[in-house]
Structure 1
Amino acid sequence: MSASSSPRPSYAAVLRIPHARRTFLAALVGRLCYGVVSVAVMLSVTRATGSYAVAGTVMALFGATGVFLMPYRAALVDRYGPRRALTPMALLYAALLCVLAAATWRPGTPAVALGVIAAVTGACAPPLGPTMRAVWAELVPERGMLQRAYGLDGVAEELLFVTGPLLVGVVVGFASPAAGVLLSAVLMAVGTLAFVTSPAVGGVRAAHRDSGPESRPGAGPKSPRKRESSPVDGRALLQPVVVATGVGLSLSVVDLLVVAFAEQRHLGADSAAWVLAALSAGSAVGGLLNGAVDWRTPARVRLPRLAVGLGLALAAAGLAPGLWTLAAAVACAGVFVAPALTTAYLLADETAAPGARTRAGAWINTGVNAGSSGGAMAAGLLIGRLPLGACFVVAGVAVLAPATLTRRPVSGWGRRHRNPVRLERPQTPDGQPAADRR
């Protein structure tokens, strides 16, 4: 991979963009809900029913509707704009979390009722992450800085899913686990309301208003027919979604493999936590380094290379003889995680028309989360049937396989419009403007 040595703006410069800091912090408060809610719901349902089987089923329903309906909820944000779509969605989601908290505060609620409440609640989860990335695409003036903004966003999200369970641990130390569900409701409502009232979010146009030359200052003629009929180039989006799915699957497998590694050596659960923390730390470092480099190699070429690096590092982790070498190996693997996901989000943004950015980013989220769910199931089947070293190799292959996708030129809207947008070329003679995608 080649990189330019030209000076680049700092992460601080990204946050100095007008309204960026306020908008980003508000989004992080809302997104912290997702770092809290899964653990809180699992603990509260387990406490209320006394059954891990019921808790697992409820969590599966909660996660399935949240993951697989996300692109459709994101489409509502693209269609009606963040303010009109996210506000009722977030308030309804927070209200349903309160209902779930009330249902699990005391034992006695039927398991079927808990499953229905959880499924409906998950179906309303607002796509705050994809929406924030769509706002970054509006705020940031050029592609190099957008990569840095996405890197900052990815690292922050990684930290949210580390601090979220810690907050739940603090809450359950003096209150019912259902109080953690209430906390997640408050975080979602407060964070989303602060987010949608930001002037930066107000500048994001709904898809049905984003047509014609006047929709963006300085933009030239557009092709409404193309934008409406093909807002997202599915063929171009396939590669980042499949790679993101592989990343989610492999990381989910590794989570359980690390726990099994610690148990086999009688090291205790806290040892596994340190190894997984090393994975997150490596991911954070990799994300910051990736954003600091002015890459000249196209993202569509970088993405499979990052997947190969992650796959090889995970396979090598299977050779670790002890805990500290395993921690070092998964930390090296983590260095590729955030860059791979950041690059996948960049590709999704390139692929989508301006009115479909949230939807395109949501497909990446869906891929990661669907892969994570499948990985947990696969790991459960593998552990005990294969040596742990072989299981790590399987985890590596899970992310290596998408890297073998063909990189043939992509036809259609996304191929023609991607480069003029991000490289900010002058307006072409056929009327396709450089400033069309900011």
Structure 2
Amino acid sequence: MSPHPTKAAPVPAVTPDALVLAPRYTEPRRAPRPRNPYLRLFSLPGTRAFTVGNFVARIPMGMFTVSAVIMIADSRGSYALAGAVTATGLAATAVVAPFTARLVDRYGQARVALPATLIAALGSLALLLCVHYDAPAWTLFAAYAATATTPNLGGLSRARWSHLYRDDPAAVHTANAFEQAVDELCFMLGPVLAAFLCAALFPEAGTLTGALLLLTGMAVFTAQRATEPPPAPRPAGTRARSPLRTRGMPALLAVFLATGAIFGSMEIVTLAFVDGPVAGPVMALQAFGSFLAGLVYGSARPAVDVRRRLLVCLAAMTALMALPLLASRTGSLLVLAGGLLLAGMATAPTMVTGMTLVQRLTPAGQLNEGMTLAVTALLGGISAGAATGGWLVEHAGAGSAYTLPVAAAGLALCLAAAASTSSRHDKGPAT
């Protein structure tokens, strides 16, 4: 052993240059999320597939009524019978649809929606056969009533978006706007496609094609199980509480009822005012305006207070619905078309905001039922608006009858304002 202790090797100084050679931990880079809100919406796996399936299934929603009217009127020579049959189907849907939606919430979309759609498709095919083989008139009513089991297709899709983006209100807003735009697109394409098929092929072609599209689209939609919301089974010994009993829901459904009267009366009055082959394209301009406004509205950042936002949308709708009334005074079809295009731009923002409020008021596990109740109220308003609009056209003229959509919009605004005031007085949770 050396008598002198050995000196330890000097420790190299830690300098910034030395640190360059040291390994560093870096987090893996994530792909940047698209800035476009609609591209962000479809960044999750499975969203595109269920959207395509739902879109294919939803196109017939704009086809069935037109196809049934053309088919029945051509075979039986009676528009009165055709109107009565389609009205019966609408009434049956108002009764059956909420129960179908409740089953969807309880047992899942795939287990309920696909069998219900199969029954509806068979009802359409039965109507086709009854018309083709000149069956008694009562069979037409029975067959078309069977189509009431068709699920609320828009509600099924909105429920998936709400489940996938349950922690992202901005994404849910964009999804609701997208779904409303799809609704408008389907109701633009559906009647045109139905009229073309019935005229170019044979009177039953529209109904047959619609049934096939509905069944095919629903099969594709329900096959996407990864994006399906989980069912909410009812505990044994308990009774399901209807969303109608939720505070604020009845008042909101009254708003939807009045809003439906706007659409129903506007359609009848415009058809009477134009009265010709261009009536369809002129009517489509209103849906096109709503389609464009829906896409823009979905990319905007919405205000936090949904009730106040609904009031603003309804106030804008009341003002814009006055444009067709003013345009009818000019007697110019071109001016009326422009008025309808602008009036339609209030539709999508109003419906998107209303559906957002429905989603927030509806208890967990009952989302399909809540949205179906809103659609049922809307259909009831459309039926009442169409009937009242037709009566007003006969007694006051088509031009004066344009006051009805304005009055219905004003009523919807007053109902929403009263509901908002009542909610503030009750000191309920902010929505």
| Length-normalised TM-score, structure 1 | 0.83
- Is the alpha carbon distance of 1:73 and 1:53 closer, same or farther for their aligned partners in structure 2, counting shifts above 3 Å? same
Q: Deviations over 1:27-76 (max 9, x none)?
A: 11111121211111111222232222211111111121123321121111
The answer to whether the aligner puts 1:408 opposite 2:415 as a matched pair is no
The answer to whether the aligner puts 1:186 opposite 2:186 as a matched pair is no
Output the CA distance in 2 between the equivalents of 1:75 and 1:304: 29
Partner of 2:52: 25
Write out aligned runs for 1:9-408 (5 A): 9-106=36-133, 108-119=134-145, 121-140=146-165, 141-202=167-228, 204-208=229-233, 229=241, 234-263=246-275, 268-270=276-278, 272-320=279-327, 321=330, 322-405=332-415, 406=418, 407-408=420-421
- Is the alpha carbon distance of 1:201 and 1:17 closer, same or farther for their aligned partners in structure 2, counting shifts above 3 Å? closer
The answer to whether the 8 A contact 2:121-2:211 is kept is: yes
Identity %: 27
Unmatched segments (≥5 aa) in structure 1: 1-6, 212-224, 420-438
Partner of 1:432: none
The answer to whether the 8 A contact 2:187-2:287 is kept is: no
Q: Which amino acid aligns with 2:302?
A: W
Output the CA distance in 1 between the equivalents of 2:397 and 2:82: 30
Higher CA-based Rg: 2
Q: Which amino acid aligns with 1:137?
A: S
Output the CA distance in 2 between the equivalents of 1:248 and 1:162: 17
Q: Which amino acid aligns with 1:133?
A: R
Output the CA distance in 1 between the equivalents of 2:244 and 2:163: 17
- Is the alpha carbon distance of 1:94 and 1:391 closer, same or farther for their aligned partners in structure 2, counting shifts above 3 Å? same
Q: Which amino acid aligns with 2:316?
A: G
Partner of 2:4: none
Output the CA distance in 1 between the equivalents of 2:76 and 2:273: 31
SS in 2 for 1:353: coil
The answer to whether the 8 A contact 1:231-1:355 is kept is: no
The answer to whether the 8 A contact 1:232-1:353 is kept is: no
Output the CA distance in 1 between the equivalents of 2:296 and 2:101: 29
- Is the alpha carbon distance of 1:151 and 1:210 closer, same or farther for their aligned partners in structure 2, counting shifts above 3 Å? farther
Moved more, 272-281 or 30-39: 272-281
Q: Which amino acid aligns with 1:180?
A: G
Partner of 1:433: none
Output the CA distance in 2 between the equivalents of 1:151 and 1:104: 39
Moved more, 248-257 or 235-244: 235-244
Moved more, 13-22 or 238-247: 238-247
Output the CA distance in 1 between the equivalents of 2:173 and 2:130: 43
Output the CA distance in 2 between the equivalents of 1:8 and 1:372: 38
How many residues were matched structurally?
Answer: 390
Output the CA distance in 1 between the equivalents of 2:384 and 2:427: 30
Q: Deviations over 1:248-300 (max 9, x none)?
A: 2112211222233324xxxx431x33432221121112111211111224111
The answer to whether the 8 A contact 1:9-1:145 is kept is: no
- Is the alpha carbon distance of 1:333 and 1:247 closer, same or farther for their aligned partners in structure 2, counting shifts above 3 Å? same
Q: Which amino acid aligns with 2:147?
A: G
Output the CA distance in 2 between the equivalents of 1:277 and 1:126: 25
